[in-house]
Chains A and B, each alone.
Chain A
Amino acid sequence: MNEELKKKYWERYLRLKHKGVKFYPDVVYKDLVVSFALFLLLVGLAAFVGVKPEPPVDPNDTSYIPRPEWYFLFLFEFLKFIPGELEWVGATVIPGLAILVLLLLPFLDKNPHRHWSKRKVGTGVMTAIVLAMVGLTIRAVVTTPPQEEGPVALSLPEQIALGQELYSIHCAECHGPDGEGGEIQGVEGLEGVVLKPINSQDEMYTRSDQTLYNIIAYGQQDLGMPPFGRAYGGELGPAEIKAIVTFMRYTWDDRVELPAEAQGGGMPTLGPDEVPSYEEHVEPLVKRYCVSCHRPGKKNNNYLMTSYDEVMHSGDHAPVIIPGDPDNSILIQLIQRHELDFSRPMPPTKALPDDVVDIFVRWVAAGAPQTAAEADQIEAQQGGGAAPATPQP
């Protein structure tokens, strides 16, 4: 830009400035309005949308689909259009050149005009680039499959509940539902092995969380305990193993107090005249006492218990449950410790507590309702006088 143009620019600018406004309050007012609106927006997003919980780092989980922050997605997507051996050009050379051009823009652009209509090439190219970035970002969002994630347990009660569930599935078949140990029955390769309790003061006082974590992850392979950590060929990630350790610590260690929200260990309570439902009362019991063996891949006469449908209809001797007839339901006979010709009493090692058996019996007797709403309906019919339970005076 030559001296004459510079002089003309300043003359014009000073004229506009003279005709203009005061920075304070005119411009400051606009700035404050926008900043305040942004502040409200941020507080609103923090309060009502929050930050999506993510599971902790697991370098062994290779199924995880890496996704960058949304403003890098366009670059990620752009690289998909570049052949593999030239990836480095797309990843470093092109963005590097783009930044360099931006940096030097005032010196590369010799056009003295400022209005967009007199800089059609420059504004056209920039518009095309911005549209391409937006398009690539949208394409990346649309084509990236959603990440499959298990539940993320953040609060202590959530972690204890998750740990309880995982313990029942992965540990209870050998260590017993309450960590009491004893003789293993019905587990391939470990039949008849006697385990010491793992819920004792000795165990809890002498093993740190880290030790418990390592035992679960690596196993005690010389003693027959397989590895459960994904890093050693098991199924569990770090978050899941941590949840199991948390459950053990808060349930069995008498130095640690169970938080009030987690009292009862997630076990259902049932009123004297209440009709139990599968979802509210039976499912937690099934998860705790049955599912460790009654899931795919275990020896269980093909009787699976991971959903209501399976509980009602699966198995070599189906139906295992006859709604309204507990005495002839195989499930009830077995948990009441009857020996049948195709099965020993269940669970194999230790009888269920009486109140737990009672919930199963009352549930089957009421017709094995699935949801709490169905159970309420049955309860209302029973209380409605159709079949008076107690003789009237």
Chain B
Amino acid sequence: MTDKPSRMQALYAWLDERLGLSTIYKVVLDRKVPKVNWWYTLGSATLFLFTMQVITGIFLTVYYVPTPDHAYDSVNYIMQDVSFGWLVRGIHHWGASFMVLFVFLHMLRVFYMGAYKYPRELTWVIGVLLFVLTLGMGFTGYLLPWNQRAYWATTVGTQIAGTPPIIGPWITRILRGGEEISALTLSRFFSLHIWMIPALMALLIAVHLYLVIRIGISNPPSKDE
């Protein structure tokens, strides 16, 4: 007579029957991949940074107020008075720089290894879109602390975006929500920064990862290939 399955095993079997856990394990984790080197960790490191930005960002919205009257003081409050607020903001601040850096390095890795070629063209295209959106996160997030650096960088940034003839002034007005940087600019950037761009990014990351798993990790190319 065989051992009766333990309670844990029974629970797992019950969940597996409904969720297909062992299929997920087989497809996602227990798959074979070509031998790869440390450069291949740049993608997962970027995903880790994105996750950190999401988590710390969500905590920051608890106290952050996106209005000209309160934005600066609320950030100051997070840094001075909220327990571990300095840590959450510090990670979000530095994580933003690292995110841009790692997306870029990941892209270079894929470029130099020719991994954007057949059959991974779509993975690359989505990756470039994610790169542009990451820069958008950097640009919109920079304004939110509402300090001198933020205000003047955004003034110049939106001005540069408005340099093309004919449509230029229109672009600047759209970005600023008016002629000048104001409460409307701040609420626009806030909404872009915490909802619109991250939601789009999460969607694209999901497709990106699906493609990576479906097609498989590219192999480091050799000369005769």
Number of interface residues of A (CB under 8 A): 76
Closest to A38 in B: B45
Closest to A71 in B: B100
B80 located at the interface, meaning its Cβ lies under 8 Å from any Cβ of chain A in the complex: yes
Q: In whole angstroms, how far apart are the Cα atoms of A16 and B87 in the complex?
A: 44
Residue of B52, B93, B111, B164 touching A51 (CB-CB under 8 A):
B93
Say whether B87 contacts A47, CB under 8 Å: yes
Residues on B with beta carbons closer than 8 Å to the beta carbon of A46? 86-87, 89-91, 93-94
Q: Give, as a whole number of angstroms, the nearest-CB distance from B107 to chain A.
A: 8
Say whether B33 contacts A34, CB under 8 Å: no
Residue of A51, A88, A102, A117 touching B79 (CB-CB under 8 A):
A51
A261 located at the interface, meaning its Cβ lies under 8 Å from any Cβ of chain B in the complex: no
Chain B 85-122 against A: per-residue CB contact (8 Å), 1 yes, 0 no? Answer: 01101110111111011001001100111111111110
Say whether B108 contacts A27, CB under 8 Å: no
Say whether A20 contacts B33, CB under 8 Å: yes
Residues on B with beta carbons closer than 8 Å to the beta carbon of A371? none
Say whether A114 contacts B221, CB under 8 Å: yes
Say whether B161 contacts A91, CB under 8 Å: yes
Say whether B97 contacts A30, CB under 8 Å: no
Closest to A29 in B: B41
Chain B 163-190 against A: per-residue CB contact (8 Å), 1 yes, 0 no? Answer: 1110010000000000011000000000
- If A50-B90, A115-B225 touch, whether A154 touches B163 (CB-CB below 8 Å) is no
B214 located at the interface, meaning its Cβ lies under 8 Å from any Cβ of chain A in the complex: no
B23 located at the interface, meaning its Cβ lies under 8 Å from any Cβ of chain A in the complex: no
Task: Tell me whether chain B's interface is mostly helix, strand or loop, or mixed.
Answer: helix
Q: In whole angstroms, how far apart are the Cα atoms of A92 and B161 in the complex?
A: 7
Residues on A with beta carbons closer than 8 Å to the beta carbon of B41? 30-31, 33-35
Q: Give, as a whole number of angstroms, the nearest-CB distance from B68 to chain A.
A: 7
**Surface stretch bound by A, among B151-159, B193-201, B202-210:** B151-159
**Surface stretch bound by B, among A54-62, A294-302, A343-351:** A54-62
Say whether B32 contacts A20, CB under 8 Å: yes
Q: Give, as a whole number of angstroms, the nearest-CB distance from A118 to chain B.
A: 7
Residues on A with beta carbons closer than 8 Å to the beta carbon of B160? 79, 87, 91-92
A189 located at the interface, meaning its Cβ lies under 8 Å from any Cβ of chain B in the complex: no
Say whether A35 contacts B33, CB under 8 Å: no
Q: In whole angstroms, how far apart are the Cα atoms of A107 and B80 in the complex?
A: 52
Closest to B123 in A: A106
- If A1-B118, A46-B93 touch, whether A34 touches B44 (CB-CB below 8 Å) is yes
Residues on B with beta carbons closer than 8 Å to the beta carbon of A56? 72, 146-148
Q: In whole angstroms, how far apart are the Cα atoms of A29 and B98 in the complex?
A: 21
**Could you list some 7 contacts between A and B, CB below 8 A?**
A13-B219, A49-B94, A67-B149, A71-B97, A88-B164, A92-B163, A126-B112
Query: A-B pairs with the 4 shortest C-beta distances?
Result: A46-B90, A114-B114, A88-B163, A54-B147
Interface residues of B (CB under 8 A from A): 28-36, 38, 40-41, 44-45, 48-49, 52, 68, 72, 76, 79-80, 86-87, 89-91, 93-98, 100-101, 104, 107-108, 111-121, 124-125, 128-129, 131-132, 135, 138-139, 142, 145-153, 155-157, 160-161, 163-165, 168, 180-181, 216-217, 219, 221-223, 225
Interface residues of A (CB under 8 A from B): 1, 5-6, 9, 12-13, 16-24, 26-28, 30-31, 33-35, 38-39, 41-43, 45-47, 49-51, 54-59, 61, 64-72, 79, 87-88, 91-93, 99, 102-103, 105-107, 109, 112-119, 123, 126, 130, 154-155
